[in-house]
Amino acid sequence: MALTTPALLLHILTETPAGLTFLLRPHAHLPGAAASSSSSSSSPSSPARAAAPLLRSHGLLLLLVNVLCAHVLLAAPGGPATARFVTACLALYHLGPICRAAGRVAAGEGRETRVLGGPTVHLVVHVALLVAMLAAAWPLW
């Protein structure tokens, strides 16, 4: 088994639920929007409505990246070098969610909603994914 296999499988297992919630329940990822839309019969605010298509697009992108991971795992186009390169790129992607989660933890956000565990869980999971994927891609460097 290639070093990249566990890292890519971990990415698929972690990002599939995230991609589905971004795609199917985008307002759950907006601070205050999920609470306000579930506690009243009114629709989410205008900024939340405007953000929903962007969040759905992000969810679709996450799911399609998982399709790419599955393709690399099953078909191995380009061999181990391609798998390591894809793994390294995906590792660097996780810097974005790490920064977002760290900012939310520092600001004390996320106490009222627990979408997929909340910002502390997101921070830990994305740091673990970054480390696992960089370690798997290390021969690339």
Asked if residue 42 has pLDDT above 60, the reply is no
Asked if residue 140 has pLDDT above 70, the reply is no
DSSP per-residue string spanning 52-113: HHHHHHHHHHHHHHHHHHHHHHHH-TTHHHHHHHHHHHHHHHTHHHHHHHHHHHHTTTTSS-
Which sequence spans correspond to the domains of the chain? 4-140
Mean per-residue pLDDT, 128-139:
90
- Work out the pLDDT band at 80, boundaries 50, 70, 90: confident
Task: Name the DSSP letter for residue 43.
Answer: P
Counting residues of the chain whose pLDDT is more than 90, the rounded percentage is: 48
**pTM for the whole thing?**
0.74
pLDDT at site 34: 53
pLDDT at site 82: 84
CA distance 119 to 102: 7
